[in-house]
């Protein structure tokens, strides 16, 4: 992509302090954007703090908190007059198993669905008024098929795809595009969390996370686990004018899995 493809544009990235969100933030900054990265912790991560700070702002935000989401979006618009794009990346994938409890249901749906809804509708309200903008929701390969032992994560990512497709239809008339990026196995801390629960029973034995990742990589046609930067490449393509005639789509970034 061109070095100044996003020059002077304003973007909001949830879950921006680590993993895919961090990689997305770094790429947007490198292409000239102003980026607001939000995450749960009071202070930005060391990795986020190491990025160039001139056009980067960190905001503490729990995406389950509608009032806080409204405050973040409002402050961006008050300062810049607009919001060009939202990357709805914040998500969790805790240990589940075959029959997770109601507390896990509330946790997963609170972040993965309500969080996408909260920040998405706040951003779309602005984009409808300004007659333009982009939303990229982060789904999963499990947005389109079942995955054993993570029923809540899987169904929550189905919901993200449903929101994507409906928002794309409803907001196209305002010049707003909405798409979904569906990562396959990607080496982030979140993806490592359920490895033992999801992949352990499948492969058997007392294997380490790294050993399980190697076994997973062997099932991927391209023969490797994805990097956060690989997913960020697709996110930022959707965010750019290169994708100006694409909306309502899901793209799997999964090495062919």
Q: Identify whether the C-beta of residue 221 lies closer than 8 Å to the C-beta of residue 256.
A: yes
Estimate to the nearest angstrom the gap between the alpha carbon of 233 and the chain centroid.
Answer: 12
The answer to whether residue 58 is catalytic is no
CATH of 10-186+228-253, one of 3.10.105.10, 3.30.43.10, 3.40.920.10, 3.40.50.720: 3.40.50.720
Query: Mean pLDDT of successive 10-residue segments in the chain (257 residues)?
Result: 79 97 97 97 96 97 98 98 98 90 97 98 98 98 91 97 98 98 86 66 74 84 93 97 97 92
Kindly list the distances between the CA atom of residue 43 and the CA atoms of 17, 74, 254, in Å, as whole numbers in the listed order. 10, 21, 32
- Residue tagged active-site, from 11, 34, 58, 153: 153
Contact 111, 45 (CB under 8 A): no
Q: What local confidence, expressed as pLDDT, does residue 140 receive?
A: 95
């Amino acid at each position: 992509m061109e070095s100044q493809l996003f020059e002077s544009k304003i973007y909001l990235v949830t879950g921006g302090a680590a993993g895919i969100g961090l990689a997305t933030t770094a790429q947007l900054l490198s292409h000239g954007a102003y980026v607001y990265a939000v995450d749960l912790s009071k202070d930005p991560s060391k990795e986020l703090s190491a990025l160039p700070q001139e056009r980067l702002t960190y905001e503490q935000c729990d995406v389950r908190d509608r009032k806080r989401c409204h405050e973040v979006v409002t402050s961006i618009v008050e300062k810049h007059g607009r919001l060009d794009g939202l990357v709805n990346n914040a998500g969790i994938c805790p240990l589940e198993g075959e029959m997770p409890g109601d507390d896990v249901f509330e946790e997963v749906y609170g972040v993965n669905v309500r969080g996408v809804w909260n920040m998405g509708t706040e951003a779309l309200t602005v984009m409808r008024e300004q007659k333009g903008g982009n939303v990229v929701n982060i789904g999963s390969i499990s947005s389109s098929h079942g995955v054993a032992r993570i029923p809540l994560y899987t169904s929550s990512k189905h919901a993200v795809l449903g929101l994507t497709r409906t928002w794309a239809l409803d907001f196209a008339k305002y010049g707003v595009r909405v798409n979904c990026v569906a990562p396959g196995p990607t080496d982030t801390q979140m993806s490592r969390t359920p490895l033992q629960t999801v992949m352990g029973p499948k492969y058997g034995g007392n294997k380490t996370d790294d050993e399980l990742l190697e076994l997973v990589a062997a099932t991927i046609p391209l023969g490797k686990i994805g990097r956060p930067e690989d997913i960020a490449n697709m996110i930022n393509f959707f965010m750019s004018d290169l994708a100006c005639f694409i909306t309502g789509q899901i793209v799997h970034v999964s090495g062919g899995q």
